[in-house]
Amino acid sequence: MKIIAINGSPRKNGNTSKALELMGEELEKQGISVETIQIGHLDIHGCIGCGYCRTSEMNQCVFKEDLVNETAAKMREADGFILACPTYYAGIAGTMKAFLDRVFYTSSRYFKYKVATSVSVVRRAGGVDTVHQLNNYLNLAETILPPSQYWTIAYGREKGEVEGDGEGLQTLRKNARAMAWLLQVVEAGKETIPLPAEEDRVMTNFIR
């Protein structure tokens, strides 16, 4: 099994990287490979709502000069993924937001019932808001979220400071272990338990 970890931090080897490394170690102990893709330092265009991806081959985004389409394809093929980013003004960093809007608009239909989780790194406050925003993508894509003992937040500002957050690191380790367990449960159940029945999507507009 394989996980794609998305690092939304612009800092190479920063605290977000440390958080993902810790989770990756726990997953790899269970035989699950992890590929980390750092996107926070890149120039990524936001979604313009053009609708190109609805009719294009493999539902690709109209902007092809960055790694959004390539990474979306990897996430579709993977058994699950982790979304991780620092906290900017109690929210998702701008490049990560642009990336997620495009990836999930083109690919949510491919993510259904994959196991996925989110992590935020923060100096002091606003991390809960960032986790909630990241989880909005996961919930609307109908992914399965593993639990932990607390919100999946690690504290630190300068590189390496997150390693001093004992409770935060424990929370991430437990989340990663729960993710590994869920991945194995989902894989084991594929042979015997059918997926929930589907319905055609109903769209209701409140202003007519």
The DSSP H or E segment spanning 116 is strand 115-122
Distance, in Å, from the CA atom of 156 to the CA atom of 162, rounded to the nearest integer, reads 4
Q: Domain ranges for the chain, please list them.
A: 2-189
Q: What is the pLDDT of residue 22?
A: 97
Backbone φ and ψ for 7, nearest 5 degrees, come out as -100, 110
**Fold of domain 2-189:** Rossmann fold (3.40.50)
Q: Rounded to an integer, what is the distance from CA 55 to the centroid of its chain?
A: 25
d(CA 138, CA 140): 6
| pLDDT tens figures, 23-45 | 999 999 999 999 999 999 999 99
Query: pLDDT tens digit string along 152-188?
Result: 999 999 988 999 999 999 999 999 999 999 999 999 9
Q: Is the pLDDT of residue 123 over 90?
A: yes
Encoded tokens for 59:
């539902």
pLDDT reading at 127 higher than 80: yes
Average pLDDT for 80-86: 98
User: In this predicted structure, what is the pLDDT of residue 191?
Assistant: 87
Model confidence band, residue 62 (pLDDT cutoffs 50, 70, 90) = very high
Report pLDDT for 64: 94
Tokens representing 43 are 């120039």
Residue 27's H or E segment, with its range, is helix 15-29
pLDDT of residue 145: 98
Output the six-digit token pair for 101. Answer: 């809007």
Burial of 140 (C-beta count, 10 Å sphere; 0-12/13-18/19+): exposed
Q: Is the pLDDT of residue 199 over 90?
A: yes
pLDDT for res 1: 96
Which tokens belong to 149?
Answer: 């003992």
pTM, entire model: 0.95
Look at residue 97 and tell me whether its pLDDT is greater than 80.
yes
Tokens of 100: 């997620």
